[in-house]
Structures are given as C-alpha cells and as structure tokens.
Amino acid sequence: MRQPQPPTPPLPARYGEDRVTLLVRDPETLFAYWELTPQAMERACRDQGCPPEALTPLLRLHDLSQTGPPEEVAVGHAESWYLHVGRPGHRFQAELGFRGPGGRFTPISRSNLVATPPREPAHLTAPPVSRAEEVVLRQFRGVDEHGSPQYVESRAWKISLPLAEGSPLAWVTSPGASPAQAWAQPQEDLFLEVTAELILRGRTRPEATLWLNRERVPLAPDGTFTLRLALPDGSFPFGLEAVSPDGRLTRSFATLVTRASFPGPGTGAGTKEATTGG
C-alpha cells in the first residue's frame, strides 16, 4: 500500500485584508472572490450609524462599457461568487461594501479591472501590414544572439524614428495607442457610425411562460425580463404573450417600433458618408 502521507498543514483561511478580485471565466461569466475584515465592518457601522446585523454585504458590479446603475448582489456570508453577466466584450470593475438600513452604500474595497472577450468576429477586417524587411523583421527577431532586450528596444526605437505619424508602421513607435485604430483612421478622414438597439423590459409572474413573436423569453427568478435587440431601419412589431403555468390565463401586449435614419452629406474634403448599422 501507499505510505501514509503526513497531513498537509492548512492554508490561512484569511489574510486580514479587505480586497475583492475579479476574474473572467468566459465571455459571459465573471468570478469574484473577496475578504472583509472585522475592522471594515466596524468602519461601516460607524459610517452608517447602525449595528453590524443591520448591514448587508453587497457586491456592486460596474459595467464600464455602458452607462447605467451597477448591478448589486447581496452576498451574505459568501466569499466568492460567479456573476453571469452575459456581456461579451465589456469591461467591468467591482466594489465590495455594505448597504445600511437606509439603503446607502459604504464602499470598502474596489477590484481590478477586467474585460470579457468578444464572442464574434470584429466588424473591421485588418489590412495587411507590410513587413518592410528592414524594419519589421527586426522587430520580430527581437533579441539577436548577443543582444539584450534593452538593446533591441532602443534599436527598434531608433529604427522607427523616421516614421511619420499616420504611417502604416507608426504602431511600432507608439505601443500605448491602439495601432489598429490608428491604421484604420487616417487623420484626414472623419467618420460617424450610428447603431441603435431596442431594450424591452417587463415583468410577469415568475412561473409564467413568456413568448415574443413565438420565441420563448427567459425570465429572471423574480419574473422580470430584459430583451436587447439590434434595431435596423424599418418597422418592427413585437407581440408579447404571457401564459400562466396551467395554460388557462394569458396576457398579451403588442408594440410597434419604427426606426428611420437620415445620414447627412457632411462638409469638408475626404468626408466619408455617415453610416448606419443594425
């Protein structure tokens, strides 16, 4: 048989610091873990003027890619949580704190920033960048057999010096800026892209079944629903029908939404027509 292993000593259950950390699990899901110290609790009690049992530990998730109030999760005694946000390609930050009896929030700690990856191809396709051997090849080579990274960095910088801004190779000189955009947006051009989305919100009995134009709509546990739909130009009827669990009661609601876009001609040389998208 296997020799008995000496027991492994336990890891510290807590590290005595207030923190909240966000991790991305996939395009739709975040994971948060945190620690709240007794001192933080005391601070919140003083701030709210209430006893500890009147405080609700709260995780607030800010979507930095859209406006609107943060999502709030009452986390109870948990120390980690999976957040099913369902928003690929967005940036998020979390705040951990306490909600007092009056509804006011006392923040304790703030998380790192994370970004969920997109779930679909980008609209813009990359143009090829010439490798212009002399310049770009050396960038790839990075370090020669005998060169240090610093040497190569400085050399790369020198090589790329003559490049004017707006050149296809300007990206090698300005790692901070988004090179893709620099390349796609010549300085002389100005563009305006407009898209529209429709948000339908509503509420029904949680156990009811909800249909939108014969497609089933998922309900949140409290019976609310939110539908977010890309809205191209045109008229769109939306028919919603809620059906009770036994099928005897139905409620329906219809709405007609029309979008019409009028891109203007613009002024100045090299102007691109404003575009609309769905």
Number of chain positions touching another protein (CB under 8 A): 65
Query: Is the CB of 112 or the CB of 226 nearer to another protein?
Result: 112
| Separation between Cα atoms, residue 275 and residue 264, nearest integer Å | 10
For residue 42, report the phi and psi dihedrals to the nearest 5 degrees.
-60, -40
3-class secondary structure, 151: helix
Q: How far is CA 44 from CA 91, 96, 97, 193, in A?
A: 28, 12, 8, 46
Residue 45 sits in the site that holds another protein (CB under 8 A): no
Residue 164 sits in the site that holds another protein (CB under 8 A): no
Among 18, 31, 54, 211, binds another protein (CB under 8 A): 31
Residue 96 sits in the site that holds another protein (CB under 8 A): no
Residue 54 sits in the site that holds another protein (CB under 8 A): no
Residue 124 sits in the site that holds another protein (CB under 8 A): yes
The residue range among 173-181, 216-224, 241-249, 254-262 that interacts with another protein, by the rule CB under 8 A, is: 173-181
Residues 117-152: b if buried by 16+ CB within 10 A, e if exposed = eeeeeeeeeeeeeeeeeebbebbeeeeeeeeeeeeb
Among 80, 185, 213, 275, binds another protein (CB under 8 A): 80
The answer to whether 75 and 94 are in contact (CB under 8 A) is: no
Among 157, 234, 272, 275, binds another protein (CB under 8 A): 157
The answer to whether 210 and 179 are in contact (CB under 8 A) is: no
Closest CA to 81 of 55, 57, 51: 57
Binding mask 177-206 for another protein (x = CB under 8 A): -xxx--xx----------------------
Residue 1 sits in the site that holds another protein (CB under 8 A): yes
Among 4, 51, 77, 158, binds another protein (CB under 8 A): 158
